[in-house]
Amino acid sequence: VQLQASGGGLVQAGGSLRLSCSASGYTFSRLALSWFRRAPGEEREFVAAIHRNGGTHYADNMKGRFTISRDNAKKSVYLQMNSLKPEDTAAYFCAARDTILTAPLPTGANQYSSWGQGTQVTVSS
């Protein structure tokens, strides 16, 4: 699977951004998709994931602010980020893996086999 992330940028605290990630080279509807992020000097961090069955899961500190969604027709996954904080500043990566409908939604980085190149989000205070 080839993944291309976009939509990052500079935003003031309290603002919003919508990240997009388009996929190619695989049957998109079979994929579990996720977003991770990495701040400078920090470990990669799980943000949100969406199952091929539409189920979602969020990191605790993103619940209520971030929304992950997918459009199988457009072969894309999105991350709507609201009420952004300076601590949300990071490079955001989309990831994908094939899964079956009944499998648990993967949330660990080592469970994903395909990664996009990352898009930078910077939140100013």
pLDDT tens digits for range 79-92: 999 999 999 999 99
Whole-number pLDDT of residue 36? 98
Neighbours of 53 (CB within 10 A): 12
Q: Is 12 exposed, middle or buried (CB count within 10 Å of its CB: 0-12, 13-18, 19+)? A: exposed
Q: For 27-75, what is each residue's pLDDT tens digit?
A: 999 999 999 999 999 999 999 999 999 999 999 999 999 999 999 999 9
What does the pLDDT look like over 1-31, one tens digit per residue?
A: 999 999 999 999 999 999 999 999 999 999 9
Task: Please check whether residue 57 is in contact with residue 111, taking contact to mean a CB–CB distance below 8 angstroms.
Answer: no
Scan for tokens 């979602």, then name that residue.
56
